Amino acid sequence: MSELCYNCFKPKSACLCSYTKEIDPGIKFVLLMHQKEAKRQRTGTGHIAKISLKDSEILVGFEFEHNKRLQELLSDPQYFPVMMYPGEEAWTAKKEGFGDVLKGKKLLVLILDSTWFCARKLIEHNPFLLKLPRLSFYGDYRSIFTFKHEPRPEYISTIESCYYLIKEMQENGLCPADVDPEPMMNAFKQMIKFQLQAENERILGIRPNSHSYDAKYNKLREIPTFD
């Protein structure tokens, strides 16, 4: 088993720490990580987001209504808590009045960090989350996570959600314009390259193959340059 980096939670041979740097967007990000996602470090992006975003936190679990740390954050008067989740009544960075509700408060953004199947389970088990004000995007985004198939094309990864939210907040003067979120995406792109390279090496017999024979796991993948 590969030795693990306990900062980005990737194998040390594919450590991503040097590809990103900490930024302070003036937003408190809290990632609610499904306990199964905590074990899926091969393709998970939550830990990369955490090391990239100052003061961000990861809370691992399944039942969050009685999570002491989460309840502390939700009751802290310095924050305006929102759930990153679509809906007709969801705020967006450009929706009229959003800047006004933030006056004097720091935005606290909760993001579900899990597969979409597990995200639905988290919502079903924690209905209080959807009673919080919701926040969503006004832009239409597609993931560059090419080796991970999502149920719908607009479903994007945790780190992409953080990245695009920061960009939209900047576009509307709600986040410092001099904050550069690109290192987050640089680390994400490098993770994709590492993963695809590892898959190709397994197919070529350079490293042990963890998959039983299956055509979808035995076709060499093109590694994007992201130019």
- Mean pLDDT within 31-37: 86
What is the enclosing helix (H) or strand (E) of 113?
strand 106-113
pLDDT digits (tens, 9 = 90+) for 66-99: 999 999 999 999 999 999 999 999 999 999 999 9
pTM: 0.89
The owner of tokens 């939210």 is: 165
Identify the sign of the CA torsion 56, 73, 59, 158: negative
Distance CA 185, CA 166 (A): 12
What is the enclosing helix (H) or strand (E) of 25?
none
Mean pLDDT of the chain: 88
pLDDT digits (tens, 9 = 90+) for 100-147: 999 999 999 999 998 888 888 999 999 999 999 999 999 999 998 866
pLDDT of residue 178 exceeding 60: yes
